[in-house]
Structure 1
């Protein structure tokens, strides 16, 4: 079981994201460095489709969201954490 975090962007994401991206990216790097985030990225059109990240545990996903500048500063309108049953791995 993995956990997928889905972000829905705020209406003014293009104005807000650049201001908070350095802190958001530092958080991604920190979580990745300790193995608590496996993958992260945007969809084809991040302004309308948002982004997602994959975590090994629900606790890691919840911890990430709780301190993510994109959430705290309103870069994302909403988020959802979903359980994901990974079937095929390397």
Structure 2
């Protein structure tokens, strides 16, 4: 199985779930959260990110390393200030990578 996974490009998925009162806190924390997204994207460690659901119930980020995903979460104003109620980071093998 390990040899098979080595054929694919490993990425790391970060899942956020909104806190019960997260939407009410999101607007005040969005500028700092957005700046963090841009910082990690410019560094090349955050490939894409965004909310899911309508209205949003959470967000997904795709990172190039587990360390980058963990660093992002550790300093994200959405996590620090209670917009996010729960998060997780998972290994992901990108099957369609060139």
Question: Would the TM-score normalized by the shorter structure come out above 0.5?
Answer: yes
> Unaligned regions of 5+ residues in structure 2, if any?
1-9
> Residue 87 of structure 1 corresponds to which residue in structure 2?
95
The alignment status of 1:70 with 2:71, answered yes or no, reads no
Which structure carries more strand by proportion? Answer: 2
Question: How far has the Cα of 1:14 moved from its partner?
Answer: 1.8
Question: How far has the Cα of 1:13 moved from its partner?
Answer: 1.6
Residue pair 1:9, 1:46 contacting (<8 A) in 2 also: no
Question: How far has the Cα of 1:47 moved from its partner?
Answer: 3.4
The secondary structure found in structure 2 opposite 1:38 is: strand
Under a length normalisation based on structure 2, what TM-score does the superposition of the two structures give? 0.86
Q: After the TM superposition, which parts of structure 1 deviate over 2 Å for at least 4 consecutive aligned residues? A: 44-48
Distance in 2, matches of 1:20 and 1:39, equals 19
- Structure 1 vs Structure 2 CA RMSD: 1.1
Question: How far has the Cα of 1:46 moved from its partner?
Answer: 4.9
Distance in 2, matches of 1:39 and 1:67, equals 18
> Unaligned regions of 5+ residues in structure 1, if any?
none
Under a length normalisation based on structure 1, what TM-score does the superposition of the two structures give? 0.93
> Residue 4 of structure 1 corresponds to which residue in structure 2?
13
